[in-house]
Amino acid sequence: MIVAFNASPWEPWEKPFTHKYGTPLGLNISNGTIVSDNHPELPAFVVWKNGEVGILQTVDRRKTRRIREAVSGFCMIALNGKVLPDAGYSKQLMPRMAYGMSRDRRYLYVIAIDGRQKKWSLGATGSETGKILLEAGAWNAINMDGGGSATLCVWDEARKRPVMLNRQTANGYQRPVGSNVGIMLDRSGVR
């Protein structure tokens, strides 16, 4: 694993958020197996069995057999090269986790924005996050599970362990989440 980050929002959502188990919201598929398929209105990051990838505003449920991996987010924050106006969850200034995909679908952009930390970062709205991703080169962007769950890690080869790149809010612990995405390198390339 060279990089890993949290993905879908999850439930139950009850304080103190130390649940041992959580169900990811939306469509979540791991290695071709459906893990969850609720809230069909949620957008998703999808890896098809033929190797194509995309960020979809809606997923045609008749095509789930063709999907190898999928994780859903809260909402689209950019679509067809344009930032979307904030609504609901995306209006709040908070820590964010978001993915963006280039127009040719060759590049995935992942961003973790710290928040709720005076003198460090107060966070961002969904549209601010969408704007950052578009400036980086994304065409479509999706707001994933953020808040105290926002986590972006890379593998530190020298220390032989994962290292978190962002600075989470003062949870006092690393929050368990409903789903994650990891990108690995193998001899044949990225998978």
18 three-class SS: coil
Residue with tokens 């069995």: 49
Question: Mean pLDDT in runs of 10 for the chain (191 residues)?
Answer: 89 76 91 96 97 96 96 96 89 94 97 92 95 98 92 92 83 73 74 51
* 2 phi/psi in degrees, rounded to 5: -105, -25
Beta bridge partners of 83: 78
Q: Is residue 65 part of a domain?
A: no
Q: Give Cα 151 distance to the centre of its chain.
A: 9
Q: Is residue 95 part of a domain?
A: yes
Q: Is residue 178 part of a domain?
A: yes
- Tokens for 77? 């924050």
State how many domains the chain has. 1
Q: Is residue 101 part of a domain?
A: yes
Residue numbers of the domain that contains 180: 3-11+74-190
Q: What is the pTM assigned to this prediction?
A: 0.91
Q: Is residue 18 part of a domain?
A: no
Q: Is residue 150 part of a domain?
A: yes
